[in-house]
Amino acid sequence: MWGTEFSGPEAATRYAFTGKAVVIIDKERSDKNALETIEQLYRLLGMHLLYMDAEDHDIHTAYISHISHITSFALANTVLEKEREEDAIFELASGGFESTVRLAKSNADTWVPIFMQNKENVLDVLNEHITQLRKFKASLEKENWDYLRELITHANEIKRILK
């Protein structure tokens, strides 16, 4: 999967798909000749092919794409609300903030329909995300620094997967 926060033809980049995954849904329900043609096209673009059913695809994308966008939109709104009171807040923003809210620049015309179509999976993931945020909040409120360290250390395990 690939994309940026920008839309339209002017957002196109050369070699955008090289090394990226493409998901073919319900392969067994596809016309054999059409499937071979599209597989060949994707390979020519330098993509690697993944196969899954539609239900698994929707669950997985809710976890690795949709929640990231919602989190970015929410963080941007949080800071924009604070910015009303503090003019200097964006002067302090650096790379970490910019990379975290990059997705908040994404087009609502793209994302509202995606959230609508995958509503149940997005809600499941959002509920889990809220649970995780509450753990961080509770550790701060209770000054449970060991638990806070445990949460962060556990999150660091993502380094094994995303390099």
Render pLDDT for 99-148 as a digit per residue (tens, 0 to 9). Answer: 889 999 999 999 999 999 999 999 999 999 999 999 999 999 999 999 99
pLDDT tens, 8-20? 888 888 888 899 9
pTM of this structure:
0.80
Amino acid at 1: M
CA 81 to chain centre: 23
Where in the sequence of the chain do the CATH 1.10.3660.10 domains occur?
54-163
Is the CA virtual torsion 138, 142, 143, 146 positive or negative?
negative
- Report, as an integer, the average pLDDT of 34-52: 96
Other CB atoms within a 10 A radius of the CB of residue 74 amount to 15
pLDDT tens, 148-159? 999 999 999 999
Is 1.10.3660.10 the CATH classification of the domain at 54-163? yes
CA separation (Å) from 37 to 33, 76, 92?
6, 42, 51
If phi over 0 gives left and psi between -120 and 50 gives alpha, with beta otherwise, what is residue 8?
A: left
Q: Which residues does residue 24 pair with via DSSP β-bridges, in sequence order?
A: 51
